[in-house]
Amino acid sequence: MKIDVENLNGHYKKLSVEVPSEIVLGRLESHFREIQKEITLKGFRKGKAPIDMVKAAYGASETPRATQKIIEEYLRKALEEKALNPVASPEVNISTFIENAPLKFTATFENMPTIELSDYQSFTPVVKSMEISNDEIENSLKNVQRQMTKLEKAEADAALAEGLVAKCDYTGTEAGAPLPEATAIGAFVEPGAKQFVAGFEENAIGLKAGDKKTFEVKFPNPDSEEAAAVGHLAGKTVTFELTVHEIFKKVVPELSDDLAKQAGPFKDLAELKDRVKTEIELQKKEAEKRENQEKAVDFLIEKNPIDTPETMINQQVQNLAIEAGMQLQQMGLDEKAIEERLKEWSDEMTSRANKQVRASLILGAIAKKESLKVEDEDIRAELTRMANNMRKNPQDIVKDMQERNLIPGFVRQVLELKTLDWLISKRN
């Protein structure tokens, strides 16, 4: 076998392969001998037809199939011999097949770059205090109270104000175009709760059951801290049509042993406080972990500059677009609106994809250098975490990933998370 490697732009390679004619002839002969055993031609018993007649009858359809098998085998051997690792399936071009001549083909692909690690050992994680204040406990208990709050119908002429809640329908439009993501039926609006964009709840104050109101709300500017919470609506002026159906007053239960018993399997308020304290501590630890993971990724990318493969970035952009499109579809947007939103987010998704691919390559290189492996317990732990967040059975998640061929990506993700945890914990 003759192999020639040509370097193209970036990480792209062109592999030229020549398989000797004797090998090709031998493989074709073996292929047709196998067919001969299974077929019946007119005038001959099964498996007894002359090989020349078999080739004449099946050559047009079977020769390409046999040739393809040869190409797949020798492409794999050529890649192994030259230590090449395509990012995606190579584009194969075959020279005209000539009987009794060598089989020549080329394979063009983007090769996985070799990652030369510069620095990953000097990362210093953030260590935050795990001390829990009385105020934090009290705020969490107030959240329990809010969750246990009941709504009772207010007086017939009650006007919406702080302390009251309105059941409403509202539709949002921009320049007359409907915004499904700014539309809801049977929503509860509570002045002062800050559950809606600034200006929305304020416009609902004073309305009574049966009232309707049209008003405009300017969403936060795209460069503001609040922009992330409103997504692509940032900077837009939205016209809302609000209809109030009912006004309710809130009945907040007192903090007591009875409340604790209603909130869960707690014998008294003291036991509920202990659980609240434990959950706050877990939340603090999880927040610290997420912050360190983000800081570690930024550190690795800064200290280990690499030229990311174009193919990998494009594939990740496509993955992000599919994920975003599904979310927009669930929000009620039609195909045209989804397409427009994805165009708006194109630059942002490309930037995110670039960062994610860089991080993945660097973490993979660290895992290889430090001999980090994915164990069964790592898989179980991540599946349990995902199942809890998604409120699904782990078995259902695995089945879904198998159907969508996502298992390899999931295992890689687990390894990357394990590598990040290793990097963070080794410095504590």
Q: Which of 183, 158, 197 is nearest to 241 (CA)?
A: 183
Percentage above 70 pLDDT, the chain = 100
For residue 59, what pLDDT band results from cuts at 50, 70 and 90?
Answer: confident
Tokens 């230590």 sit at which residue?
Answer: 83
DSSP SS3 for 286:
helix
pLDDT at 318 over 80: yes
83-136 pLDDT, tens digit per residue, is 999 999 999 999 877 878 899 999 999 999 989 999 998 999 988 888 999 999
Verdict on whether the full-model pTM lies above 0.85: no
Q: Which of 321, 389, 326, 383 is nearest to 352 (CA)?
A: 321
For residue 225, what pLDDT band results from cuts at 50, 70 and 90?
Answer: confident
Query: What secondary structure, in 3-state letters, does 171-236 show?
Result: EEEECCEEEEEEEEEEEEECCCCCCCCCCHHHHHCCCCCCCEEEEEEECCCCCCCCHHHHHHHCCC
pLDDT of residue 428: 46
278-296 pLDDT, tens digit per residue, is 999 999 999 999 999 999 9
For residue 173, what pLDDT band results from cuts at 50, 70 and 90?
Answer: very high
Kindly report the average pLDDT of the chain as a whole number: 91
